[in-house]
């Protein structure tokens, strides 16, 4: 199992691409989120749409779903997007059930419902696999558990946003926060269970309030910081993560091997 960060930038970063990843297992590739710059970040990693088999959507911010229209149209109209037998295929789409309708209606419909002569839905473009309550999905024999994070509150309700927790073939337990506030009480159990944590982390003088900030994460116990790799950061200078007890900053394109 190889796990590569196509990008490590925050939503408004102009460097390092959006924080989307590709997980490779048994020759199949799972894309984790597809932000607005996905076609460039895939190309920078030497990947084409035909190299992908599935996509997971963590939540509905543009740096995570802004590239879904590209995935939809780019796979539907690509004659080379076929399975081993030569039959037209679709990307599997893993998504929490309470987000699928909003992904279509609020994010994708405008650009993809308008194909000449067709009435389209999310199922037109993707093999949709909805994850229910306490959701999980299986990709190439590995279970991925959805972990709700406290990312932002919309109209008095916590908006759906789900990180992932999985056990890799080498036995390592991995926790990927995707996007979360600094809310350790809600996810500390996953910090503790994991052998390696990939944590979104903003830097700079202003705190957005919807992401963990470097100075917040520095308050965590040393044994938790030691297994944390930081990503989803703004442009600009960063303090030395290792000096502050973390495993490090993930670099754009960096790959982790969990084989």
- Which residues of this protein are in contact with Zn ion, per CB under 5 A? 11, 61, 63, 179
Nearest distance, CB of residue 203 and Zn ion, angstroms: 14
Q: In the complex with Zn ion, which residue's Cβ is closer, 62 or 184?
A: 62
Shortest reach from residue 161's CB to Zn ion, in Å: 7
Measured from the CB of residue 89, what is the shortest distance to Zn ion in angstroms? 28
Name the burial class of residue 141, with classes exposed (0-12), middle (13-18) and buried (19+) by CB atoms within 10 angstroms of its CB. Answer: exposed
Nearer to Zn ion, 192 or 251 (CB): 251
- Least separation in angstroms between CB 223 and Zn ion: 27
Between residues 29 and 61, which has the closer beta carbon with respect to Zn ion? 61
CB of 236 to Zn ion, least distance (A): 17
Cα dihedral sign, 96-102-106-108: positive
Q: State the nearest-atom distance from the C-beta of 127 to Zn ion, in Å.
A: 25
CA distance 201 to 185: 17
The residue (of 25 and 66) whose beta carbon lies closer to Zn ion is 66
Residue 238 CB, shortest distance to Zn ion, in Å, is 17
The DSSP secondary structure of 61-125, one letter per residue, reads SHHHHTTHHHHHHHHHT-TT-B-TTS-B--EEEEEEHHHHHHIIIIIIHHHHTT-TT----HHHH
| Sheet with 162-167, edge to edge strand ranges | 136-139, 142-148, 162-167, 173-176, 196-200, 228-231, 248-249
Q: Please tell me the distance from the alpha carbon of residue 118 to that of residue 150, in angstroms, as a whole number.
A: 38
Q: How far apart are CA 163 and CA 175, in angstroms?
A: 8
Task: Collect all residues with Cβ–Cβ distance below 8 Å to 174 and sequence separation of at least 6.
Answer: 3, 164, 165, 166, 167, 168, 194, 195, 196, 197, 198, 258
Give the integer Cα–Cα distance in Å for 23 and 120: 29
**How many Å separate Cα 114 from the centre of its chain?**
27
Q: Which is closer to Zn ion, CB of 53 or CB of 59?
A: 59
Q: Which is nearer to Zn ion, 62 or 245 (CB)?
A: 62
Pick 10 or 135: Cβ nearer Zn ion:
10
């Amino acid at each position: 199992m190889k796990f590569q960060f196509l990008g490590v930038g925050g939503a408004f970063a102009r460097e390092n691409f959006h924080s989307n990843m590709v997980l490779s297992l048994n020759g199949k590739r799972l894309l984790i989120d597809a932000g607005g710059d996905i076609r460039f970040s895939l190309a920078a990693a030497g990947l084409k749409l035909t190299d992908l088999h599935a996509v997971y959507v963590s939540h509905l911010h543009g740096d995570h779903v802004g590239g879904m229209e590209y995935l939809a149209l780019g796979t539907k109209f690509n004659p080379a997007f076929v399975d081993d037998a030569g039959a037209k295929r679709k990307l599997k789409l893993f998504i929490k059930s309470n987000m699928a309708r909003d992904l279509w209606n609020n994010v994708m419909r405008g650009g993809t419902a308008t194909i000449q002569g067709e009435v389209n839905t999310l199922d037109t473009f993707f093999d949709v696999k909805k994850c229910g309550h306490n959701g999980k999905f299986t990709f190439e024999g590995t279970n991925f558990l959805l972990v709700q994070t406290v990312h932002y509150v919309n109209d008095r309700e916590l908006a759906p946003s789900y990180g992932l927790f999985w056990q890799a073939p080498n036995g390592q337990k991995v926790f990927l926060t995707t996007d979360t506030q600094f809310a350790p009480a809600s996810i500390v159990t996953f910090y503790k269970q994991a052998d390696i944590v990939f944590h979104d982390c903003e830097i700079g003088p202003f705190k957005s309030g919807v992401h963990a900030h470097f100075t917040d994460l520095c308050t965590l116990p040393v044994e938790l910081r030691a297994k944390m790799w930081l990503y989803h950061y703004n442009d600009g200078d960063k303090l030395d993560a290792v000096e502050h007890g973390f495993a490090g900053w993930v670099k754009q394109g960096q790959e982790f091997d969990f084989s």
